[in-house]
Chain A
Amino acid sequence: MSSYYTATDHFVLLPALLLGLFACATLLFDFWVFPESKRRKHLAWFVLMGEVFASVAYLRQQMFLNQHGGELQAFGGSLVVDQFALYFHWIFVIATAIVVVMSYRYFEVRDEHHGEYYGLLLLAQTGMYFLASGNELVVLYVGLETMALTFYVLVGTLKRDQRSNEAAMKYFLLGGLSSGLLVYGFSLLYGMSGSTKLREIGVAVANRSSADTVLFLAIATIISGLLFKVAAAPFHIWAPDTYEGAPTVVTAYLAVASKAASLALMLRVLLGPLGTAREVWEPIIAGAALLSMTVGNIAAVTQTNTKRLLAYSSINHAGYILLGIVAGNQTGIQGVLIYILIYVFMTLGAFLVLTVLCRETTTGEDINDLHGLMKKSPAHAIWMLIFLLSLAGIPPTAGYVGKLYIFLSLVETGHYFLAVAAAIYVAVAIYYYFRIVKSMFIEEEETAMPALSLSLGTRVALLATGVMTLGIGVYPEPFVKFAQQTLMR
C-alpha cells in the first residue's frame, strides 16, 4: 500500500467502504437480480448481511481499542476511531438493522416497494459513519450532507402520497438552509484557524477571548445548523410535518439515527475544538433545551395524530439530551450517551408498533384509531405501553435511567432551575403519552384494526426493542458501564 492509503487508513475506513459498497450493490441487485417487486424483500436480507460485515469490521476496531486504548487516526487525522465514535457506530448499526426489517412489509402493503430504498438506507448510514468518525470540517460536512440528501429522498419514498411529497419538500428546503448556516460557521472557523482540522481549530479558538464577535458568530451559526438536524427548538418547525408525512419507517429512522448522528457531531465539535468557548455556547444550548422541552411538551398535548405527537415528543427528548450537554461534566456526557441509546430503542419500538398497525391507507395514525387496541391485539398494546412509559421516564422501563443521569448532572453542576423545569416537564409529558394509553386501553368503541400478520423480522425487531427497553430499566449496570468506558480515553 502506498503512503496515501496505509493499512491503518484501511482498517479505519473499512466499515464505511463496506456500507458504501453494499449500498451500490443493492442498487444493482435491484435491477439485475430482483426486478419483480415481490422478491425485493430479499434485498432486506442482503442489507442485513451488509450490516453483519460492517459489524465485524467495527468489532475488530473495538477489540483493537479495548486492547491498546487511545484512538486510531487515519488520513492524517481526518478520520478518527475512538470509543466515542464506536459507541455511535453501534447505535447506527442497531437502528439501521431494525428499520430494515420493519420496512419491507410496510412498503409491500403500499405497493411502493422499491429496491433503492434499501440502498439509500445504507448510504445514509455511510454518511453517519463520517459524522461520528470525522475529525475534520470537510469530512464532517460531506458526511452530514450524504446523510441529509439521502433522507430528503427517503422521506419522499411514497411517491403517490401527497403528504410524503410535501414532507420531503419541506425537509429539503429547510434542511438546505440549515446546511448553509452550518457551512458558514465552518468557514468562519477555517478563517480563524487557517485549518480544517478540529485539533488546530481548537488551538485557535482557545487563543480567542470569549467576547470575540467572529467566534460568537461561528458558534451561533454552527449551533443553529445542528439544532435543526437534531430537531430542537427553535429550529424544529420542519419536524412535525416531516414526521407526519414521511413513511412511518423512515420517520423512525429519521427520529433515531439522524438525531443520534447529529448529536455525535454536536458533541464532537462542542466538546472538542469549541470546548474552551463553553461560556459562549452554554447559554445558547441551555435556552434551546428549555425551549425544546416547552415547545415539545406544550404542543404535543393537543396533537391527535400519533406520528405528530411522537414528533413533538422527540423535540422534547432533544431538549433533555441538550441539557446533558449544558451540564457538560462527566455525568452529563455519560447521561447524553445513555439517553441516546435508550431513546433509540424506545422510539424505534413505538414507531414499530405504529408501523404494524398502519394499513394500506393512513389509518392507525390518528389517536382515535387506536381505540380498544387492548382487546384487538393485547400484545401490541402492552408493548406500546412499555415504550410509552419509557418515553415518559417511568421506572422500571429504561427511560428513567437517562433522565436520572440528566438530573444528576444538572444538580451536580448547579443548574437548579433547569433541573426543576426538566422535572416538571416529566409530569406534563405523561399527560400526552397517556392519551395514547387511554385510547388503547380505556376507550370502549373499537376502531382499532387488528394488526397485520407480522413478518418474522418485525417480530424479532419488536422483541428486541421491547426487551432492551425493559432490560436497560431493570438492570442498567452493563449499559451504564459501557457508556462510562466510552468516555475514558
Chain B
Amino acid sequence: MSEHLLSTILFTPLIGVLILLFIPGKMKTAIRWWANISAVAGFLVSLPLILNFNKSLDGYQFVERVDWIPTLGVQYLIGVDGISVLMVMLTTSMGMLAIFSSWESINDKVKEYYAMFLLQQVGMVGVFISLDFMLFYVFWELVLVPMYFIIGVWGGPRKLYAAIKFFLYTLAGGVLMLLGIITLYLQHMGQTGVATFEIAQLMNTQMPLWMEQLVFWSFFLGFAIKVPMFPFHTWLPDAHTEAPTAGSVILAAVLLKMGTYGFIRFSLPLLPQASSDRMIVNVLAVLSIIGIIYGALVSLMQQDWKKLVAYSSVSHLGFCTLGIFALNQQGIAGSVIQQINHGISTGMLFLIVGVIYERRHTREIKEYGGLAHVMPNYAIVFAFAMLSSAGLPLLNGFIGEFSIMQGAFQANMAWGAFAVTGIIFGAAYLLWLYQRTMLGEVTNEKNKGLKDLNWREWVVFLPLMAWAVTIGIYPKPYFDILEKPVAAIVERVNGPRVPVNAAVRVDAMKTEAR
C-alpha cells in the first residue's frame, strides 16, 4: 500500500467511476451514495500521504517509476515534494466537498455528473504528482474534457459559450506548451544523448538564454491561460459564472492552481536563466499587478454575485503569481499557501452563492438585501468566508497575502506598493457585497421566507471554516513543509550560474536523496 500510495490516490476515483457506470441511471440515490463514498475514499487514501510525509527530506518522496513509452523516454514517474503534497490534499478534500455539496442541487443526468467529477479528480491529482513532463501533459489535457461537460451540461444559461471558450483557451495554451516541452526534450537529448521527459534530468539541459526565453514563453502560454493571468483571463468569468456550484468550486479551488503550480514546478526550476531574467520577471510581475488591481476594480462593478466572486479570483491569483515571481522564499511559500487559501475561501464564496441560488434562482445582487435577518447562520458563514478572503488577521487569507507582500517588497518596493492597493480594493468589494446582500432591511418580499442553512450545507462549510482558522492561527506546519522544496527552487533560480558539471552534481545529489 505505502509503496503504491500515490497510484492508489490517483486511481481510487477512477475505480469509483468504473463501478459507477454499472449502476443504472434511474437509481439516483444509489448513484449519489456511491459517488460520495468514492470521493470520501479518495480523501481517506490521501491522508497517509500527509501523515507519512517527511518534511526534513530533500527531493521527492513516494516515488514510483515504471516505463511507459520507452521509445520516447516517457515514464510513469510520480512523486511528491512539500508543494505537491499540499496540492494533492487540497484536491482530494475539495473534490470530496464539491461532490457532497451537489447532493440536492443536481437532479438531471446524475450519473454522468458524478462520473465527470470523479474523472476530473484523476486528472487533477495526476497533474500535481507527475514528475515526467509528458505524463504531466497527458493529465493536464485529461482535466479539460470533464470540465467542459460539467460547465456545458449542468451550467447556466450561457453554458455552451462558456464551456467551449474554456476548452479552446486552455487547449490552445496546452498545445503551445507542448511545443516548449518538446524543444526542451530535444535540447536535452542533443546534449546528453538520453531521451527522457523526467524533470530532474531535464534540469541538466544547458540552453542559450534566447532559447530558454522562447521555451519560457511557450510554458507561459500554457500556465498563464490556466491561472489565468491578465490578459488571458477572459474565459474565467464566463466559465465560473456558468458552471454549476460544485464546478465553480473545483475550478477555483483546484483547476486554476494547476497553472500556478506549473510555474513553480516547471518554469522556475527548468528554466532558471529565463525565469530570473529581468525583462521576463518584470513583465510577469506587472501582469500580476494589473491582474490584482484590474480584477478588484472589475469586481467592484459587478451586478452579478457569482461574477463578482469570479473576478475576485483574477485578483487573488494575481497575488499568487506575483509571489512566485518575487523569486524569494517568502514570496513562493506565501504563493503556495495563498493558493490553498484561495481554494478554501473562494470555494466557500462560490458555495455561498450556490446556497442562495438554489433558493432564489437569481444571482442579481440587487435582488437581495437584509438576508441576515432571515438567514442568520448563512450570514455568519458568509461573513467568515468574506473576511478570510479579504485577508483578516487570524484567518487564512492574511497569512498568504502577508508572506507574498513580504516577498514582493523584498524584490521590488514598487510592486509591493501597487499590490497593497489590491488588498484594499479587495476588502472594499467584499464588504460592499456583504452590505448590499446581508445587511439593512429585507426589501424584497421573495426573500422573507428563505430557509437557513440545512445540515448538509453545514457539513460542507464547517470543515472549510475550521481549515481557514487553523491556517490563520498556526500556519507553521505549512511553512515548514514548504521550506525545503521552495528553498531548492529559490536556490536554483537565484543561485550562481553553475557550469554543466556542477549542475549535474547538484542533481545527482538530489537523486540520491530520493
A interface residues (Cβ-Cβ under 8 A, vs B): 374, 389, 394-396, 400, 404, 407-408, 411-412, 419-420, 423-424, 426-427, 430-431, 434, 438, 441-442, 475-477, 480-481, 484
Contact = CB atoms under 8 A, between A and B. Distances in A.
B72 A480 contact: yes
Interface stretch (B50-58, B177-185, B233-241, B362-370): B177-185
A389 B137 CA distance: 15
Contacts of B145: 389, 394
A377 to B, nearest CB: 13
A51 B144 CA distance: 41
Contacts of B153: 441-442
A405 B138 CA distance: 14
A423 B179 CA distance: 8
A427 B138 contact: no
B52 to A, nearest CB: 29
Interface in B69-86: 69-72
A250 to B, nearest CB: 31
Interface in B19-78: 67-72
A396 B160 contact: no
9 contacts: A389-B145, A396-B142, A400-B141, A408-B186, A411-B182, A423-B175, A475-B68, A477-B71, A480-B72
B466 interface: no
Contact of A419 (B72, B172, B179): B179
A477 B168 CA distance: 29
Contacts of B182: 404, 407-408, 411
A274 to B, nearest CB: 27
A395 B164 contact: no
B176 interface: yes
Contacts, number: 78
Contact of A477 (B70, B142, B176, B178): B70
A137 to B, nearest CB: 35
B141 A394 contact: yes
Given A395-B138, A430-B167, A441-B149, 5 more contacts: A400-B141, A408-B186, A431-B164, A441-B152, A442-B159
Contact of A476 (B69, B141, B178): B69
B461 interface: no
B171 to A, nearest CB: 5
Contact of A438 (B70, B152, B183): B152
Given A420-B176, A424-B172, A481-B71, A434 B183 contact: no
B148 interface: yes
A420 B218 CA distance: 10
Contacts of A424: 172, 175-176
A34 B353 CA distance: 69
Contacts of A431: 164, 168
Contacts of A400: 138, 141
B69 A477 contact: yes
Interface of B: 67-72, 112, 134, 137-138, 141-142, 144-145, 148-149, 152-153, 159-160, 164, 167-168, 171-172, 175-176, 178-179, 182-183, 185-186
A426 B148 contact: no
Nearest to B169: A427
Contact of B148 (A374, A420, A434, A481): A434
A394 B144 contact: yes
Contacts of B172: 424, 426-427
A484 B71 contact: yes
B175 A395 contact: no
Nearest to B68: A477
A239 B153 CA distance: 34
A404 B164 contact: no
Contacts of A434: 148, 164, 167
A427 to B, nearest CB: 4
Nearest to B144: A394
A420 B149 contact: no
A442 B152 contact: yes
A423 B149 contact: no
Nearest to B184: A411
A411 B153 CA distance: 38
Contacts of A480: 69, 71-72
Given A438-B152, A477-B71, A411 B183 contact: yes
Nearest to B190: A412
A430 B179 contact: no
A408 B144 CA distance: 23
A408 B178 CA distance: 10
Complex A-B, nearest 8 residue pairs according to Cβ-Cβ distance, in ascending order: A427-B172, A395-B138, A423-B175, A480-B71, A426-B175, A411-B182, A427-B171, A395-B141
Nearest to B149: A441
A439 to B, nearest CB: 11
Contacts of B176: 420, 423-424
A438 B160 contact: yes
Contacts of B168: 427, 430-431
A411 B186 contact: yes
A239 to B, nearest CB: 25
Contacts of B164: 431, 434, 438
A391 to B, nearest CB: 14
B137 A395 contact: yes
Given A411-B183, A484-B71, A395 B142 contact: yes
A314 to B, nearest CB: 20
A480 B69 CA distance: 8
Contacts of B148: 434
A121 B262 CA distance: 51
A476 B134 CA distance: 13
Nearest to B185: A408
B71 A427 contact: no
A176 to B, nearest CB: 40
A404 B142 CA distance: 15
Contacts of B171: 394, 426-427, 430
Contacts of B70: 477
A419 B148 CA distance: 26
B178 A404 contact: yes
Nearest to A473: B138
Most chain B CB within a 10 A radius of its CB, from A374, A412, A475: A412
A400 B137 CA distance: 11
A419 B149 CA distance: 29
Contacts of A427: 168, 171-172, 175
